[in-house]
Structure 1
Amino acid sequence: MDKAENRRAAAPAARTQWGAVLAIVGAGVVASLQVGKVIIAAPLLRRDMGLDLSSIGALTAVFSVLGVLGGIAAGGVIARFGARRMLLLGLAATAAGTVIGALAPGYGVLLASRVVEGLGFLMITVAGPAALQRIVTSGNRDFAFALWSCYMPAGMAIAMLASQAFGDWHAYWWCAGLAAGAALACVALLAPASPRGAGMSWRSLRQDTVDTMGAAGPVLLALSFTLYSLMFFALFTFLPVLLMEQLGLTLAMAGLYSAIASAANVVGNLGAGVLLARGWRRSTLIASASTAMGAVALLIFGSALPAMPTFLLCVLFSAVGGLIPATLLGTAPLVAPRPALTAASVGLVMQGSNLGQVIGPLAVGGAIDRYGWSSASFIVAAAGLAGVAIAWRLRRVEPARH
């Protein structure tokens, strides 16, 4: 890209490019589809490969390992090479990992394919907010980021609904790969060029990391996202299995019910955008949602209620929880130590999200295997209490109303 094109790409958005926004959000949805496909295919994987819940949890968790280790570094790479390029590369990696998984002869290769998909997920989820920041006007920023924050529940809901059409997990993997290819084409056609940044060195990357992690705002957001992801994936990684084993639903009905519960999270995400626009404090939304999620989890995993009330509690858990990611992702660019560290700050927040995705499934899967379903409720409730504590710390550094 020449200097003139670089200047055009670097210029602030004169108007919001909604086609590009939808293409970028679509890339995030496709990325989260790769998370949801394992969750809903868990009974099929257990049947075909004889996997226990801990192994299923590992398939979900390994997807996030690269995100835990490389969020800030990914932000530096994106700032150097441009968000659009990294989105395209992330979608290509996602498609490649899905193909490897579809051809996997055993658990080891399937697990390795999840690492490749995890690399794609990392690039997409860090590059997406950076790309949006460049193409939306300030007046539309909160709504655009609320849309972006829907990528995880939307993708998971689609994955679970799509399960109605598959009786074999291999075919499911192939279709997920086709979805990644389609998203790649949409981003290539609709998303505008992103400028390259200054040259990157280990010294500058190290300094960016120190500056980002030394700022209270991004660190608190990352910790809050860790706790939210732990709570959300503690339930949704095993929700189809819970519905089948504890409530007696068929796989098809468990997929449908799980999709509805996951889609409810979108309501919370969009609701957060509305409430923030009306002046609600960010810390208040996070504290309230964390309290509700922890309390509701005690009832869900306790399995003391009939099937329908338990399912409705799952919907409530998801809907209220959706207030948190939209608030966190919309706040991240505002608390960056300096504008050049916006991508790094988002990367740190996503590291927190991925850490929760690693801890939640592994801890809860192991606890359920050893102590039964009720043990999961105490893990989620403890995370909810910790989320409230982090929210009140965030109150001291959260930005003024925007």
Structure 2
Amino acid sequence: MGKEGTRWGAVLAIVGAGVVAALQVGKLIIAAPLLRKDLGLDLASIGALAAVFSILGMFGGIAAGGVITRYGARRMLLAGLAATAVGAVMGAMAPAYGVLLASRVVEGLGFLMISVAGPAALQRMVSASNRDFAFALWSCYMPAGMAIAMLASQAFGEWRAYWWCAGGAVAVALVSVAALAPVTPAGASLSWRGLRQDTVDTVGAPGPGLLALSFTLYSLMFFALFTFLPVLLTEQLGLSLPTAGLYTAMASAANVIGNLGAGVLLARGWRRSTLIACASLAMAAVALFIFRSVLPAMPTFLLCVLFSAVGGLIPATLLGTAPMLAPRPGLTAASVGLVMQGSNLGQVIGPLAVGGAIDRYGWASASFIVAAAGLGGVALAWRLRRLKGAAL
């Protein structure tokens, strides 16, 4: 970063890129009924379309970090946005399920590059005093994008029109990043041997691994609730589907409060491990009340808002900490990639574990899974605090 200080226009453009990338995740969830009606898809097919992003993220995070280090964060951020736009257009024109699935793969690759390149670009363009707040802004991209996707869906009665508009949003983000984000330097040439060594060094370092595990448990908790929240609100608490969708969007958006709050608290000297431990414990406790449906609809919804808002402290803290615990400066992008792999792992196993438990044992069983994950987050926070030489 140059001497001129933080470039907030560039920061906002990069955060906007993350938001429109997350919009591509949320658009499928909310448009699933329209896809089932138009293309005759079963739930397994819808699940495959949704899982593509997480599967790519589970296995490609560190590799994406290596590519970004080689070619520069800004360049790869633009490439990710371009791929996402191409995927959205492919999907909007898809005549059948196979093409739609291929379009999700293209969108997923774009999402992977954006989610790893965004923090790497921010790391280079913000001052040390503003870094935690900039990363807190960045960490809002997923809940903000998901909430926008759910709310925007009210304007569309046909899923292809939704895909076209989502692609247009990506194009706007691409132009904004190209105009505002400064060029980031490229690194050394990329080789399989170098990539393998970077992977070994990143995975072998204790810090990035602990952060990735923490993100796994957070994502497990968050997506375990929000994947099934509309069903919980309709089947268990008697709300209509449109009302349940609106409530889900509002609760998801509350996550932004926690993300921004983490930036403020870290700037005021709060320990990172303390924020992670307190948020994990709170999510565990609240989940016991939510999944057991022991309260009426409105108090339960307010608990979901609390669950989301307090939970937002965790991703902002983890993403802001990842560059600090990279084994060496050249592995910052790889460390962020490993942390994002943990996030995607939680997105996969959370809904699977909770969905299976609900089917077999009822809604109350989900509370124990989420509570156990929360207690695991507290234990990992304690391990982070004990890392030698880290002021956590």
> What's the counterpart of residue 151 of structure 1?
141
- Structure 2 counterpart of 1:131: 121
Unmatched 5+ stretches in structure 1: 1-10
Contact 2:385 2:391 in 1 (8 A): no
5 Å-filtered alignment, 1:237-386, equals 237-386=227-376
Q: Deviations over 1:211-255 (max 9, x none)?
A: 111110000000000111111111112323332333333333223
Contact 1:80/1:196 (CA < 8 Å) preserved in 2? yes
Partner of 1:388: 378
Q: Partner letter of residue 353 of structure 1? A: S
Note if 1:27 corresponds to 2:17.
yes
Within 5 Å, give how 1:49-128 maps onto structure 2.
56-128=46-118
Please give the per-residue CA displacement for 1:317-339, whole angstroms capped at 9, x wherever unaligned.
Answer: 10010000000000000011111
Q: Are 2:150 and 1:160 aligned?
A: yes
Distance of 1:246 and 1:188 partners within structure 2: 47
Rounded to whole Å, the distance in 2 between the matches of 1:145 and 1:398 is 24
Contact 1:233–1:357 (CA<8 Å) still a contact in 2? Answer: yes
1:2-41 counterparts in 2 under 5 A? 12-41=2-31
Counterparts of 1:295 and 1:42, CA distance in 2: 31
In the alignment, structure 1 residue 185 sits paired with structure 2 residue 175: yes
Going from structure 1 to structure 2, the CA distance change for 1:174 and 1:14 (only over 3 Å counts) comes to same
Measure, in 1, the Cα distance between the counterparts of 2:191 and 2:257.
Answer: 42
Corresponding residue number in structure 2 for 1:194: 184
Deviates more, 1:376-385 or 1:264-273: 376-385
Name which of structure 1's ranges 379-388 and 37-46 shifts more when overlaid on structure 2: 37-46
Shift of 1:274: 1.3
For 1:153, the aligned partner's letter is: P
Say what the alpha-carbon RMSD is for the aligned residues.
Answer: 2.1
**1:17–1:218: structure 2 CA closer, same or farther, 3 Å change rule?**
same
| TM-score of the two chains, using structure 2 as the length reference | 0.94
Larger mean Cα displacement after TM superposition, 235-244 or 27-36: 235-244
**Amino acid corresponding to residue 267 of structure 2 in structure 1:** A
2:200 aligns with one of 176, 201, 210 = 210
Matched residue of 2:291: which SS?
helix
Q: State the secondary structure of the residue aligned to 1:302.
A: coil
1:69 Cα shift?
0.7
- Whole-Å Cα distance in 1 between the matches of residues 103 and 366 of structure 2? 28
Shift of 1:12: 3.6
Task: Name the CA shift for 1:48/1:338 in 2 (closer, same or farther; >3 Å).
Answer: same
Secondary structure of the 2:110 match is: helix
Partner of 2:216: 226
Whether the aligned pair in 1 keeps the contact of 2:139 and 2:316 (CA below 8 Å) is: yes
Counterpart amino acid of 1:223?
L
Return the offset for 1:101: 2.5
> Is the contact made by 1:68 and 1:354 (CA closer than 8 Å) also made in structure 2?
yes
Residue deviations 1:116-159, cap 9 Å, x none? 22111110010001101111111111111111111111111111
**How many Å separate the matches in 2 of 1:168 and 1:294?**
38
Rounded Cα–Cα distance in structure 2 between residues aligned with 1:142 and 1:269: 10
Q: C-alpha displacement at 1:197, in angstroms?
A: 0.7
Q: Is the 8 A contact 2:252 2:305 kept in 1?
A: yes
How far 1:61 moved relative to its partner? 2.5
User: Aligned partners of 2:365 and 2:43: how far apart in 1?
Assistant: 14
Structure 2: segments with no counterpart, 5+ residues:
none
Residue 190 of structure 1 aligns with an amino acid whose one-letter code is L
SS in 1 for 2:157: coil
| Distance in 1, Cα, partners of 2:252 & 2:367 | 19
Residues 398 and 41 (structure 1), Cα distance of their counterparts in 2 relative to 1, 3 Å cut: farther
**What code does the residue aligned with 1:259 have?**
A
> Alpha carbons of 1:44 and 1:360: their partners in 2 closer, same or farther (altered >3 Å)?
farther
Q: Mark the CA change 1:74 to 1:41 in structure 2 (over 3 Å): closer, same or farther.
A: same
1:6 alignment counterpart = none
Deviates more, 1:256-265 or 1:219-228: 256-265
Structure 2 Cα separation of the partners of residues 262 and 392 of structure 1: 28
Counterpart pick for 1:173 among 154, 163, 182: 163
Aligned-pair distance for 1:359?
1.5
* Equivalent in the alignment of 1:8: none
Specify whether residues 156 and 146 from structure 1 end up closer, same or farther in structure 2 by C-alpha distance, changes over 3 A only. Answer: same
Query: How far does residue 41 in structure 1 lie from its aligned partner after superposition?
Result: 2.5
Deviation at 1:399, TM superposition (A): 6.2
2:97 pairs with 1:141: no
Q: Residues 57 and 237 of structure 1 are in contact (CA less than 8 Å); yes or no, is this contact kept in structure 2?
A: no
Whole-Å separation in 2 of the counterparts to 1:328 and 1:15: 23
One-letter amino acid of the counterpart of residue 227, structure 1: L
Q: CA deviation at 1:360?
A: 1.8
**CA distance in structure 2 between the partners assigned to 1:273 and 1:362 by the alignment:** 32
Contact 1:53 1:365 in 2 (8 A): no
Shift of 1:199: 1.0
TM-score scaled by length of structure 1: 0.91
2:380 counterpart letter in structure 1: I
